Amino acid sequence: MKPVRTRIAPSPTGYLHLGTARTALYSWAYARHHGGQFVLRIEDTDVARSTQESTEQILDAMRWLGLDYDEGPIHQMSRLERYREVAEQLIAAGHAYRCWCTPEELDAMREAQRARGDKTRYDGRWRPAPGKQLPPPPAGVQPVVRLANPLHGAVSWNDLVKGPITIANEEIDDLVILRSDGVPTYNFAVVVDDWDMRITHVYRGDEHINNTPWQINILRAIAGPDVEPPRYGHCPIILGEDGLKLSKRRGAVSVTAYRELGYLPEAMLNYLARLGWSHGDDEIFTRAQMVQWFDGSHLARSPAQWDPAKLAWVNAQWMKRGDDARLAALVQEQLAGRGVAGADAATLARMAALFKDRCTTLVELADWAAMLYLPVAPRAQDLAEHVGEAVKPALRALRERLAEVAWEAAPIAAAVKAVLAEHGLKMPQLAPALRVLVCGRAQTPSIDAVLALFARDVVLQRLQHV
Ligand code: GLU
């Protein structure tokens, strides 16, 4: 048995797409499950569209998700020599050939095929064949290199997701493997890399199913007809809520966007994993459980639908389970983004403990935390409803007591009780008024614990003008 080696091979032409993150997760979990290795490869051969910024965003998203890799990032553009070397070997062995067709010629070829009602494909005019006389290479044209795809037979593989697939060689043509500038095409670079990097299992989006027969043929040309290709698993696309392909126009498609919306990485992983894979009825599972359970089985064959409400629910579950100190650190980052510097970590941790149950995202938790540091703006309606003349004397008395008590939940609670008794009020009359004035909202957890989170001065100041 070869050691399991998987990879994820994003193209740095944008953010890490949710679909890519999902196959990255499957590849990572599969490798970890088998004690194998996971490789990160940056497929940057689309020179015009690849950017360093995108590479950094992808690495950042991988780090955030905690998808650690054992090798990489390996950039394809640093391996050009290797692709050229393999292309030369294929030419020498008769598995590839140079083609001097100009773009105009190829256009004319396709035009004529369309006019005849044929499928458009390269017609093999530069493909060597016994007894065939090739024209002399035209001057001034840089050739491309094409695969001499087998003319007959079929390519079959047992897809890890879709089951057995067979595609006839007649269906596919002699694709370009090296462009005229010496840069490999995706299908060629991917095969050389998967081979050199000893990749055993490939999980990727099913838009690549049609590329797979070429890739298997290229691999056979490189390594011989009996070579064992990687096992391929093609995961169905993720559909948007409207049943169409998830796309930028219809909401966030990048991992980074969800980070900014206040989602936790463990919730993202959990949700992405479930989106196309199941383990019984389990909905909430840890990274360790995923590694333990993910053996490549139970992958869905039909497309999953992106469900923001479910993602929010999963995130809320992880917020509830979140460690207070960690949530505090994450909220601190959120607050820093809102101009609140130096929010006290211990206070934020106590705040997280009190509020995390009622928050779907870190942004919501930070919305709560902000009341400790930034002015609040109670709604006129809440003021009218909860801060009537009847409670104002009690609020003033409480303010005086609060100026004196030890600043902790229990003495604060005692002060509130004493004022209630003095003024013949009940908690449901006083607490909402306090909440509205101090927190800016009429509903919060236990008011004494909440007040204790604030700096005393802030509370006194917010009760000043009643
Ligand atoms: N760069 C390709 C993509 O992002 C990789 C596909 C593959 O995994 O082979 O779609």
Phi-psi region of 200 (alpha: psi -120 to 50; beta: other; left: phi over 0): alpha
* Residue whose CB lies within 8 A of the most ligand 1 atoms, among 13, 190, 219, for a mutation test: 190
Query: Quick one: which atom of ligand 1 is closest to the CA of 194?
Result: 9
> Which candidate, 456, 447, 353, places its Cα nearest to that of 400?
456
Q: State whether 63 and 189 are in the same domain.
A: yes
- Rounded to a whole number of angstroms, the CA Rg of the chain reads 31
Query: Quick one: which atom of ligand 1 is closest to the CA of 190?
Result: 9
Q: State whether 294 and 189 are in the same domain.
A: yes
Residue 102: its H or E element: none
Which CATH number is 24's domain given?
Answer: 3.40.50.620
* Residue whose CB lies within 8 A of the most ligand 1 atoms, among 25, 186, 218, 234, for a mutation test: 186
Known catalytic residue at 248: yes
Q: State whether 219 and 109 are in the same domain.
A: no
Which CATH number is 86's domain given?
Answer: 3.90.800.10
What pLDDT is recorded for position 249?
66
User: How many angstroms is it from 126 CA to the middle of ligand 1?
Assistant: 29
User: How many angstroms is it from 454 CA to the middle of ligand 1?
Assistant: 51
User: How many angstroms is it from 20 CA to the middle of ligand 1?
Assistant: 8
Domain termination residue (choose one: 287, 321, 355):
321
Which CATH number is 367's domain given?
Answer: 1.10.8
Q: State whether 201 and 138 are in the same domain.
A: no
Tokens of 179: 């462009």
User: How many angstroms is it from 374 CA to the middle of ligand 1?
Assistant: 46
Parallel, antiparallel, or unpaired for β 144-147 and 96-99?
A: antiparallel
pTM confidence score: 0.93
Which residue among 119, 248, 392, 417 is the active-site one? 248
Tokens of 159: 């897809």
Domain termination residue (choose one: 110, 145, 178):
178
Range of the domain at 160: 81-178
What pLDDT is recorded for position 243?
84
| Backbone angles phi and psi of 183, in degrees to 5 | -90, 130
Contacts of 278 by beta carbon, 8 Å cutoff, 6+ apart: 298, 300
Q: State whether 68 and 99 are in the same domain.
A: no
* Residue whose CB lies within 8 A of the most ligand 1 atoms, among 23, 26, 43, for a mutation test: 43
Which CATH number is 432's domain given?
Answer: 1.10.10.350
Q: State whether 340 and 304 are in the same domain.
A: no
Query: Quick one: which atom of ligand 1 is closest to the CA of 204?
Result: 8
Q: State whether 190 and 55 are in the same domain.
A: yes
User: How many angstroms is it from 42 CA to the middle of ligand 1?
Assistant: 9
Q: State whether 225 and 313 are in the same domain.
A: yes
* Number of other residues whose CB lies within 10 A of the CB of residue 387: 20
Domain count within the chain: 4
Q: State whether 313 and 242 are in the same domain.
A: yes
Report whether 7 contacts 39 (CB < 8 A): yes
Q: State whether 301 and 208 are in the same domain.
A: yes
Query: Quick one: which atom of ligand 1 is closest to the CA of 211?
Result: 9
Contacts of 335 by beta carbon, 8 Å cutoff, 6+ apart: 343, 366, 369, 370, 373
Residues with C-beta less than 6 Å from any ligand 1 atom: 9-11, 43, 190, 204, 208
Residue stretches of the chain with pLDDT short of 70: 248-251
Domain termination residue (choose one: 305, 321, 337):
321
Q: State whether 339 and 443 are in the same domain.
A: no
Q: State whether 107 and 94 are in the same domain.
A: yes
What pLDDT is recorded for position 250?
64
What pLDDT is recorded for position 200?
98
